[in-house]
Amino acid sequence: AEGGTLFLDEIGEAPIEVQVKLLRALENREVTPVGSATPRLLDVRVIAATNRDLDEALAHGRFRSDLFHRLRVFPIHMPPLADRGDDIETLAGHFLARHAADRPGPTMAPEFLAAIRGRSWPGNVRELKHAVEYAAVVARGGSLRPEHLPPAVPVATASQPATDTAADARVADAVRAWVDSILAQNGTAANPLHETLMAIVETTLVQKVVDAAHGNRTAAAKLLGLDRATLRAKLGR
């Protein structure tokens, strides 16, 4: 990035110890490369982005105020994708073309375009990109239609936080009950608890996603963030 631009995505997720190092580099305009004891002058323009509420992070001590003010030289607020209806179709077309690469790509039916314009897209551009790629895989080269889209992510409300606490609590209760049942057997387990539980959860998760993708393993692998070979191995266990 020397002499160019350094883009720091999701800066709001950086741990405090990383923030300290970044602040020092920005203040001193120098860095010490890994494996070297000699600092090098830093000649870059820094652009940082986040979807976090940094004011809240500051108030709770999760983000350093000195780094915040050091980065906040020229702030730009980007409205959520749901408020930029015209951008949705343009971006969807771009992501579809990139997914097709040099192959003849599928088209987007008017109903598909209406469907993506009608979604709230809480995950913004990243969620739209993944949804378009998923639809392209499920459509198998045909015209993209609304039924090819993955299920919409629920919009967080005051009564339903982004992390569904009721669902999380049910999962936690199930895990506690499972652990209690194992430990009740003389306080021991035939296999390591973590390994056993992860195997159960992973098997259930993988099979559920494959079922949701109607058996399309390519689409399921994309949703799970796995390659097809890894998914095939997990299904074969």
- CB count in 10 Å sphere of residue 202: 13
- CB count in 10 Å sphere of residue 131: 23
- CB count in 10 Å sphere of residue 220: 24
pLDDT score of 168 more than 70 = no
Q: In the chain, where are the structural domains located? A: 5-71, 81-148, 166-235
Residue 115 is predicted with a pLDDT of 92
Tokens linked to 112: 């598909």
pLDDT digits (tens, 9 = 90+) for 187-199: 555 667 777 778 7
As a three-state string, the secondary structure of 24-75 is HHHHHCEECCCCCCCCEECCCEEEECCCCCHHHHHHCCCCCHHHHHHHCCCC
Q: How many residues does the chain have?
A: 237
Residue 134, φ and ψ in degrees, nearest 5: -60, -45
Please check whether residue 134 is in contact with residue 149, taking contact to mean a CB–CB distance below 8 angstroms.
yes
Q: Angle between the 124-139 and 85-100 helix axes, to the nearest 10 degrees?
A: 50
Residue 159 is predicted with a pLDDT of 43
Q: Which residue has the tokens 């890894």?
A: 230
pLDDT score of 170 more than 80 = no
Residue 5 is predicted with a pLDDT of 92
pLDDT digits (tens, 9 = 90+) for 42-82: 889 999 999 888 989 999 899 999 999 999 999 998 888 88
Residue 193 is predicted with a pLDDT of 74
pLDDT score of 162 more than 60 = no
| CATH number for domain 5-71, candidates 2.60.40.10, 3.40.50.300, 3.30.70.980, 2.60.40.720 | 3.40.50.300
Burial of 136-175, coded b for 16+ CB within 10 Å and e otherwise, reads bbbbeeeebbeebbbeeeeeeeeeeeeeeeeeeeeeeeee
Nearest to 54 by CA among 44, 41, 67: 67
Nearest to 111 by CA among 134, 135, 94: 135
Nearest to 95 by CA among 84, 108, 80: 108
C-alpha–C-alpha distance, residues 15 and 29, integer Å: 21
CATH topology of domain 81-148: Helicase, Ruva Protein; domain 3 (1.10.8)
Intrachain domains 5-71 and 81-148 with the same fold? no
pLDDT score of 164 more than 60 = no
pLDDT digits (tens, 9 = 90+) for 97-130: 988 876 777 889 999 999 999 888 888 898 999 9
Q: What is the DSSP string of 83-149?
A: G-HHHHHHHHHHHHHHHHTTSPPPPB-HHHHHHHHHS--TTHHHHHHHHHHHHHHHHTTS-B-GGGS
Residue 187 is predicted with a pLDDT of 57
Residue 84 is predicted with a pLDDT of 86
CATH topology of domain 166-235: Arc Repressor Mutant, subunit A (1.10.10)
C-alpha–C-alpha distance, residues 24 and 31, integer Å: 9
Nearest to 82 by CA among 127, 35, 117, 47: 117
pLDDT digits (tens, 9 = 90+) for 2-42: 788 999 999 999 999 999 999 999 999 998 888 888 888 88
The pTM assigned to this predicted structure is: 0.51
Residue 114 is predicted with a pLDDT of 92
